Structure 1
Amino acid sequence: MRLIATTWQPVWHETPLGWLDRYRAALAEVAADRDTLVVFPEYAALEAAFYGTVTLDARGWMQRGANHFDAYCDGIRALSKDTGATILGGSGFARKGDQIVNRALFCAPEGEAWLEKQMPTPYERALDMAPGEAMPILATRFGKIAAVICYDSEFPPIARRFAEAGAELLLVPSCTDTEQGASRVEIGCRARALEGQMIVAMAPLVGEVPGCEVIDVNLGQARIFCPPDGTSPEDGTLAQGPRNAPGFAILNTLSESLAQARKGTDVSVFAHWPESETPQNPPETRNFR
């Protein structure tokens, strides 16, 4: 079983389906098949709207992105059917009643599910984006999968709920426009791997996208993390792609890495976590001034 996290740079196309040809070529490059799980980044779905002559502000891009989101998801479904791969498509603006949420399609030959961002960033809140609903834990041939989008990874209780419910693998599509933002998501993913004793895969958007205010500058590096324990790599990094450039982080030993994450360790953070939530004595404050 293979896990592939993409570092993806959206580009403009001459035709509405140009993005789909590009995705198909990328999946062919990594020989994606039934034993492959591929993760695309946050806001990668906007690439389906990158054609023609367009001049829009951020709210305009919300509407254009939402207008193209269903077509993007249809393309992801076609790619999964053609290759047999399981794909977490890039997220994008999607309509939910009279609101806009940040949503992604998880698509497998056996079925599909929606992932929505639960914690909008301050930027997204300024655009009046709504918080979404958590994706269910999916029992798949790759293991029990959960997913969160970017900012969600910075809130330990969100991932903890998934871990307590049995998730073994956490997928984190992301989009950040500063090195600080990229570091925050990376730190969050590393911490979630340690706390939940899970495999965590982050897939960031990268590069400059002229003409789209929402994702005009993007920084990051695809990484796949495990708890740094037992026989795992010393820093807990199982795979990584190029930094701030398109590419892939490829883990060819997913099944073995999942087994190691919780059962082949010297410490038991996941098992001992409840003890940390029930201290014998509440903290006190002493005045040393």
Structure 2
Amino acid sequence: MRLAAATWAPVWHDRPGAWLDRYRSALAQIRADRDTLVVFPEYAALEAAFHGAGGGSAAEWMARGAASFDSYCDGIRTLVSETGATILGGSGFARDGEGIVNRALFCAPEGEVAVEKRMPTPYERTLGLRPGRPAPLIETRFGALAAIICYDSEFPLIARSYAEAGAEILLVPSCTDTEQGASRVEIGCRARALEGQMLVAMAPLVGEVPECEVVDVNLGRAAVFCPPDTGLPPDGTLAAGPRNAPGFAILNGLEAERERARKGGQVGVRGHWTETETGPRAFPRTILR
């Protein structure tokens, strides 16, 4: 089994539905099949709306993205049916009652689950994006996994709740427009791998789409991280894709690497979490000045 995290560069198309041909070609290139788990980035679903006239405000793109989100999900279902692969589709704007959330479709031959961003960024909050619902732990043939979106990875307790529930793999689609943002998500993913003794796959959006204000500039690289421990890479990187360019980070032998990450060696952070909760909640203050 293998895990493929995409560094995906969306493009503008001359017709509706052309995005699906790009996805189909990319999956064929990596020979995605029933033993392949694929992760696409945050806001990659907007590519389904990248045709016709460009421009417009971020608020207008929220509405435009929400209008095309269902057709994007239908395309992901088609790809799963064609290849047999399990795919976490790119996230996008989706209607939730009267509001809009950042949602992705996790789709497998056995069924599907919606994943929503729990923690909108300050920028997303100015647009009125709503916090999403917690997604379930998903039991799959690849192992027990969870998916959290971009900014969520910077909050340790979100990932910890999944690790305590038994998650072995954490999927993190992301979208950042600065090198600092890309670094924050990567640092968060590395930390979550160490703390939870799990594999963490990061899939960022890259490239430029000047016609769309929401994703006009995008930076990052796909990677699969693990705890840097006995029998694992010294820097905790199991696979990495190109930086700021399209491609995939592909981890072969997923089962073995998943077990090595869970086993631990020199440290066992996940098993020692409760020990950090037994100390005082309020600390005395010592002034030395």
Asked if Structure 1 and Structure 2 have the same fold, meaning a TM-score greater than 0.5 normalized by the shorter chain, the answer is yes
Aligned partner of 2:60: which letter? G
* Aligned residue in 2 for 1:256: 256
Distance 1:72 1:99 in 2: 19
* Gap regions ≥5 residues in structure 1: none
Are 1:156 and 2:143 counterparts?
Answer: no
* Aligned residue in 2 for 1:226: 226
Are 1:169 and 2:157 counterparts?
Answer: no
Residues 26-41 of structure 1 mapped to structure 2, 5 A cutoff: 26-41=26-41
Residues 237-252 of structure 1 mapped to structure 2, 5 A cutoff: 237-252=237-252
* Aligned residue in 1 for 2:196: 196
Q: Is the 8 A contact 1:7 1:204 kept in 2?
A: yes
**TM-score, normalised via structure 2 length:** 0.99
Distance 2:282 2:204 in 1: 40
Are 1:283 and 2:280 counterparts?
Answer: no
* Aligned residue in 2 for 1:50: 50
Aligned partner of 2:151: which letter? Y
* Aligned residue in 2 for 1:74: 74
Aligned partner of 2:159: which letter? A
Q: How many residues align?
A: 289
Q: Is the 8 A contact 1:39 1:203 kept in 2?
A: yes
Deviations 1:152-198 (A, max 9, x none): 00000000000000111000000000000000000000000000000
Q: Is the 8 A contact 1:199 1:258 kept in 2?
A: yes
Distance 1:19 1:209 in 2: 14
Deviations 1:194-224 (A, max 9, x none): 0000000000000111110000000000010
What is the CA-CA distance between 1:281 and the residue it aligns to?
A: 8.1
What is the CA-CA distance between 1:86 and the residue it aligns to?
A: 0.1
Aligned partner of 2:133: which letter? E
Q: Percent identity?
A: 70
Q: Spell out structure 1 runs of 4+ moving beyond 2 A.
A: 280-284
Q: Is the 8 A contact 1:231 1:264 kept in 2?
A: no
Aligned partner of 1:171: which letter? L
* Aligned residue in 2 for 1:236: 236
Aligned partner of 1:186: which letter? E
Cα root mean square deviation, aligned: 0.9
Residues 48-197 of structure 1 mapped to structure 2, 5 A cutoff: 48-197=48-197
**TM-score, normalised via structure 1 length:** 0.99
**SS, match of residue 101 in structure 1:** strand
* Gap regions ≥5 residues in structure 2: none
Distance 1:93 1:211 in 2: 17
Q: Is the 8 A contact 2:55 2:213 kept in 1?
A: no
Distance 2:41 2:280 in 1: 42
What is the CA-CA distance between 1:279 and the residue it aligns to?
A: 1.6
